[in-house]
Chains A and B, each alone.
Chain A
C-alpha cells in the first residue's frame, strides 16, 4: 500500500449491456475484461491498442467516470470503487481527465474564465483571478484569453484549455484520452511538448491513451498494449518498442509507417479483423489473427508473465524473443 501507487486497478471488468431491436436477443460488450494496471508517481504510462480495444473505457473506469462491472479501483492507495457523489471530491483532486475532442469537451457558452472556475467550484473553492491566470500561463496561454470563448481559439489552444481545466485542482495524475489525435501534426507537437514540460515542472504523472504509437513513444516511459479488453503486454517503453514480446505488439509496431522513403521494413500484415468484444475467442484473444497460434492458445487465456525476469511482462504462450526479431521477415505468415 505504498502511496507511490497513484492508481491501481485490480482485475477490473466493464461490460456494457447491448440494446438492439426489441426482438433480437441482448448481449454484453466486454469492453474491459479483467485488467490489472498500476501507475506510480512520476510515470507516464502509454495505453495503446486498436479501436474498440477498451482504452477509453479503462480510462473512464480509472477516473471513476464509469463504475466497473467487477474489480476494484484504488486511487492514492485508497479503495474508491464504491465512493460516490460528494465523497468523490477528494478523489477528483488526485486524478483528472483530458478528453480527445477539445471542441466537444468545452461548453461553447462559457468563457475560458468560467470554464476554469468550474473545477474549483466542484471542490468548494472560489479561485482568485491570479490563480486562473497562473493556470493559463502553465499551458502557454495568457491573461488576455480569460474573457474569450472556446470558438475564438484554434484546436490546439482549445486542448490547452482542456488541460488547464484538468490542472486546476492540482492533480497528481492526468488521464489523457487521445489528447492530440484531433490535432494537426505541427499543433500536436506543441501539445506533446507541453505535456512533457508539465511533467518536469509540476511532477505530474500521466496515463496517455492513444492509438498512435509514435506519439506514445515520444512521451511514455511505460507502455501497456490492449487487445480486446485485456492488456497483452506491458513494460518499460524503450524495451517494449525495441523488443516487443507479444506477436500483436510486434505486428502493431511493424505496421506504423515511418517517414523514410524506401525504408525496407519487416512488415507483418495481419489478416482478418479484430473479433467482436461481445463474443471474444476462447483462450488467447489474439489467436484468430496470430501468426504463431497453436492449439494450446485456444484453451486458457494466457496471463501476463515476466519476460526475462524484468518489469516487462507479456501474456502469450510463445512470446517473441529478441533473437526472433532479427530473423527474416515474417511478413506473409498467416494464421
Chain B
C-alpha cells in the first residue's frame, strides 16, 4: 500500500528528502454559482514533507485560499472538489463529515490571515484554545484549559495563565495571531496551513510571528504550507515554492530555483515588480500590464498570455495550446508551464 501512494505521479517530491506528509494531486475546485460555473482551481499538485515549508504564492484570486480550504474540506456546499488529497497516504476527499471532523484541527490545522475575525469575540482565548483540544481529546475542561495555557505560554503570550481569561479584543494583532497559532498547534498537527498569517500585521510583529512558526517547526517537525503574496517572506522561510496563476500552477521548484532561476514570465514579473527595501530605488519598477483574469475567462492557450511580454516570441502557440508544467534546470524538480523554451530575461 505505502508504495502505491509514494509512486503517485502527481505528488512529486525529490528523491532523498523525507516522504511527504501531505500530497495533493490534480486538485480541481469548481463553484456552482448563479452566474455559472467558476473554475477557481484547475488542477494543481503539491506536496510537503515533515519539517519542510512549501510556499504558495500568487496574486489575489489565483486560488490559494480555495486550495487550502479544499485540503481542509472546508469549502461551502456549492464547491465541487476532485483530485487527490493524501494525508500520510490516506485519501481525504470523499471522507464522511465525521471522519473529516476528526482530522481537522487534529492532523491538519489552519491559521487564518485576520486573527481578530478568526477568533470568536464572545469566548476567552483560553476557552477557545481549550475547545480545540477537547474536540479531539477526551479530557476534562480543567485539563484542557491547562493544556491551553501551556500552548499560549509556548507561543510567547506573557503571563499566559491570566491572559487566558482575556477576550480576543483585549489583545494586540500580533498577540491574537499567536493565540490562533496556539489553537492550531494544540493537538500537535502534522500539517499546518497558514493562509497569509502575517499580512494583517506590522513588519516588526510579522518578524516575531515568522520566527515563532520556524521555532515550532523545528521543535515539532510540523509540515508548513505557507500561503503568501509577499515574496520577501517566502524567500526567507520557504523550502519549496508553488507559483499560482488563475487557478493553475505557473511554476514550482525550490526557493532558489524560483528566486535565482525563475523560468516563467509571470514569476519573473512578480520579482521585477517588487520594490526592495535593501536596494536603492530603481528608475522604474518592472510591471505586468493589465490585471489577473477572473476564473474561467481564459479557456484556451496560456492563461497568462494577455499580459505576457514574451508571448510574441513564441507566437500562436500561446493562444492555442495550454502549456503544461515541464522540467527546467535547477535543484531537483524545477518546473514551469510556459512554451518559451529558454529562460526569460528581465524586460522593462
Contacts and interface: CB of A to CB of B under 8 A. Distances in A.
B347 to A, nearest CB: 13
B92 interface: no
A269 B236 CA distance: 15
Interface in A114-147: none
B59 A186 contact: yes
Contact of A255 (B206, B271, B273, B286): B206
A90 B172 CA distance: 42
B277 A155 contact: no
B207 A184 contact: no
B207 A255 contact: yes
A35 interface: no
B273 A189 contact: yes
Contacts, number: 133
B32 to A, nearest CB: 23
B204 interface: yes
Given A51-B173, A186-B269, A258-B232, A213 B202 contact: no
B274 A260 contact: no
Nearest to B232: A257
Given A51-B173, A213-B203, A259 B235 contact: yes
A261 B256 contact: yes
A192 B285 contact: yes
A238 B208 CA distance: 27
B7 to A, nearest CB: 30
A270 B204 contact: yes
A15 to B, nearest CB: 21
- The CB with the most chain A CB atoms within 10 A, among B174, B236, B275, B289, is that of B275
A189 B286 contact: yes
B288 A186 contact: yes
Contact of B232 (A186, A253, A259): A259
Given A218-B282, A256-B203, A274-B172, A185 B236 contact: no
Contacts of B287: 186, 189-190, 193
Nearest to A258: B278
A263 B260 CA distance: 13
Contacts of A325: none
B327 interface: no
B259 interface: yes
B277 A193 contact: no
B259 A260 contact: yes
A184 B59 contact: yes
A310 interface: no
For the residues of B in contact with A, the DSSP-based class is helix
A192 B60 CA distance: 18
B255 A256 contact: no
B276 interface: yes
A293 interface: no
A48 B276 CA distance: 15
Interface string B168-199: 00001111000000000000000000000000
Nearest to B231: A259
Contact of A51 (B60, B202, B236, B292): B202
Contacts of A252: 203-204
A307 interface: no
B204 A217 contact: no
Nearest to B241: A261
B183 to A, nearest CB: 19
B270 interface: yes
B35 to A, nearest CB: 14
Interface residues of B, number: 48
A269 B207 contact: yes
A51 B172 CA distance: 11
Given A259-B231, A260-B235, A184 B276 contact: no
A328 interface: no
Interface string A171-214: 00000000000001111111011001000000000000001111
A303 interface: no
A262 interface: yes
A155 B236 CA distance: 28
- The CB with the most chain A CB atoms within 10 A, among B206, B255, B281, is that of B281
A24 B281 CA distance: 49
B276 A217 contact: yes
A251 interface: yes
A239 to B, nearest CB: 12
A184 B58 CA distance: 9
B232 A256 contact: yes
A187 B289 CA distance: 8
B134 to A, nearest CB: 29
A259 B274 contact: yes
A154 interface: yes
Contacts of A258: 232, 235-236, 276-278
Interface string B228-264: 0111111110000000000000000001100110000
Contacts of B236: 257-258, 261, 263
Contacts of B291: 154-157, 184, 186-187
A50 interface: yes
B232 A189 contact: no
Interface in A228-251: 238, 241, 251
B173 A255 contact: no
A184 B255 CA distance: 21
Nearest to B291: A154
Contacts of A304: none
Interface of B: 59-60, 172-175, 202-208, 210-211, 229-236, 255-256, 259-260, 269-278, 280-282, 284-289, 291-292
Given A257-B233, A260-B235, A270-B208, 13 more contacts: A51-B173, A156-B291, A184-B59, A184-B229, A185-B59, A186-B291, A252-B204, A255-B207, A261-B235, A263-B236, A270-B204, A273-B172, A273-B205
Closest 5 CB pairs of A and B: A257-B232, A189-B273, A186-B288, A218-B275, A189-B285
16 contacts: A51-B202, A184-B229, A189-B287, A241-B277, A252-B203, A256-B203, A257-B235, A258-B277, A259-B231, A259-B271, A261-B260, A263-B278, A269-B207, A270-B207, A274-B172, A274-B202
